[in-house]
Amino acid sequence: MNTERTLASLTFASDETEFFTPMPAGYTPGKTRYVVVFGTVMSGLGKGIFSSSLAKILQDKGLAVAPIKLEGYLNHDSGTLNPYRHGEVFVLDDGMECDMDLGTYERMLNQDLGRLNFSTSGQILSSVLEKERLGRYLGRDVQMIPHVTGEVKLRLRELAVAAQADVVFVEIGGTVGDVENAYFIEAVREMSYEEGPSNFCFVALTYIVEPDILGEQKSKPAQLNLKLLNAAGIHPHIIACRASATVSKKVREKIALFANVPMSRVFSMHDCDSVYVIPEMLRGAGIDAAVIELLGLADQVDVQAEERARKTWSDYINRFRSAAHPITIGIIGKYTSVRDSYASIIHALEHAGAATNAKVQLRWVDSSDLSEENVAERLKNLHGVIVPGGFGYRGVDGKLACIKYVRENGLPYLGLCYGMQIAVIEFARNVCGLAHAGSTEIEPDCPQPVIDLLPEQKKLEGLGGNMRLGGRDVRLTLGSAMARLCGSETIRMRFRHRYEVDPQYIRILEEHGLVFSGRSPDHPIMQVLELPADRHPFFMATQAHPELTSRPLHPQPMFVGLAQAALNYSGVRGDIPAPSTAASEGTRASSVVRTGGAPH
């Protein structure tokens, strides 16, 4: 059939037609290709890692790629999710609070993403109901098919237009058997019919079990879940097999036979020392060549660009693997039992280690177990400390004890968000003599609230919009350690918080030696603090979440500074890499057109 003409005429459902294919302005059917990644057996296997790795090797070939994560939960975004449920909340530059997989895409593709790259069932259904109230469905009874599935298709096509993408990567969260994912799967099935089969590539990520009692890999759970996918009308072109060890040829043969997929497209995605080696694993297995062939993109491949990109990426992997000097960084938090709660911090430290020739080892310390009596023992043999973000009062006393210890003993320190607020409280109490200094988040009637909601935020309290979210420019103090690290007068950072340093206490804090080296250009908001070099070798904190903008090829400057200070503390001397190596944010390509700023 003439796909373009047919789709152009069937953009709404009426009594005359059951087709419903809403099209955004500027969309040309067949111009953009789509790669859809499904999960089977169980969630948490690395769909985002696989999808972003595959997207990267297509990007290396000169193709424009754009990812989108579809989540089945009814939350509007990930902002209210407990880290124990879904890992860290990743914040995009435009303020969207999303799944941690978006961080994987940003790091792998070196792109700043936006709200068009993330969608939940809550967003989809809210949009459908709003359109129903506005009469957009011409009096039809609104149904899952075609209206809700039509909304999903519309979002995929809107991203394709906004990003001018050659290939859109669609990751469907959870697994094929989840009830909430059924309409996502149906939507991409419909869309592959509408766009034409040569414009879609389906990838199934499955899990190969290896029970200790049997001592061999078993593929039956994978087979049964692939059958569910087939029953939904999706026949995968590629199957990625997750396992702790390399998936055997025998198992891959069973999967290939059962799923009717060539052996060359059944890939072993086993555990490795870094997620950043997976792109080359995929390339070595010929998965990129298979996708190029399936989608008919051979004439768009830039071989020279790919060679340059491979060399640059390989250089990073070699630096990471050959790092010679071990340092141990302590993460002092209250979600330390779930490493995904601090995924971006882990990656940022890896990036910084590769930039400074440091082999970074982590020690997890639950702040709830820390006290002034045991802090010296618990922090023994560390070369640096990070107190990450968080909310609430649990573990605060342990963090206060930790920060006092590192400040008094010259142990390199980096505070992130809450880690800056607690540092201000500790300094106010133990250096400025404000014995009752605290935060109104922890103690609403605090007599000396050095941390409080700013007046403009208090006005928003009743509106439920008082979270400060997304990217903001930070003006740096010339001559400060922060400015030297960044090599510029401004840096763009991402924020996710409600409380700030109360302006009425800034003067007394500065008089006692605290330096606010980063400030908002437009508001009395302190965004970076540090102690001068004659008082501490490296004591720095920020109200932002700098870990969110660190990239393998552009490590975040504050983490590079911490890594180098930790090396110095361990006895390995060396200069902090030039700012051109530890590149600051704001220079990376974006895969979407911005759709509006974040709330203040």
Q: For the chain, how long is the longest CA-to-CA vector?
A: 79
Enumerate residues 6+ apart whose C-beta is below 8 A from 214.
none
Q: Which amino acid is at 556?
A: Q
Per the CB < 8 A criterion, the answer to whether 173 and 71 are in contact is: yes
Q: How many CA atoms lie within 13 A of 19 on its CB side?
A: 12
CB atoms within 10 A of CB 372: 13
Per the CB < 8 A criterion, the answer to whether 548 and 341 are in contact is: no
Is 545 part of the annotated catalytic residue set?
Answer: yes
Cα–Cα distance measured from residue 122 to residue 179, given in angstroms and rounded to the nearest whole number: 15
Q: Which of 356, 319, 291, 368 is nearest to 63 (CA)?
A: 291
Per the CB < 8 A criterion, the answer to whether 545 and 416 are in contact is: yes
Is 547 part of the annotated catalytic residue set?
Answer: yes
**CA 217 to chain centroid:** 32
Q: Which of 426, 547, 554, 585 is catalytic?
A: 547
Q: Which of 417, 441, 530, 585 is catalytic?
A: 417
- 211-212-216-218 Cα dihedral, nearest 10 degrees: 0
Per the CB < 8 A criterion, the answer to whether 86 and 99 are in contact is: yes
Query: CA distances (Å), 335 to each of 385, 391, 405, 542, 544, in order?
Result: 16, 11, 21, 20, 19
Cα–Cα distance measured from residue 518 to residue 504, given in angstroms and rounded to the nearest whole number: 17
Cα–Cα distance measured from residue 78 to residue 146, given in angstroms and rounded to the nearest whole number: 27
Per the CB < 8 A criterion, the answer to whether 194 and 7 are in contact is: yes
Is 417 part of the annotated catalytic residue set?
Answer: yes
């999960």: which residue's tokens? 39
Strands 468-476 and 65-71: unpaired
Peptide bond into 146 cis (omega under 30): yes
**CA 334 to chain centroid:** 20
Per the CB < 8 A criterion, the answer to whether 426 and 400 are in contact is: yes
According to DSSP, the residues that pair with 363 across neighbouring strands are 330
Q: Can you read off the two tokens belonging to residue 121?
A: 């069932």
Q: Which of 325, 497, 545, 554 is catalytic?
A: 545
First to last CA, the chain: 50
Per the CB < 8 A criterion, the answer to whether 440 and 446 are in contact is: yes
Q: Catalytic amino acids?
A: 417, 545, 547
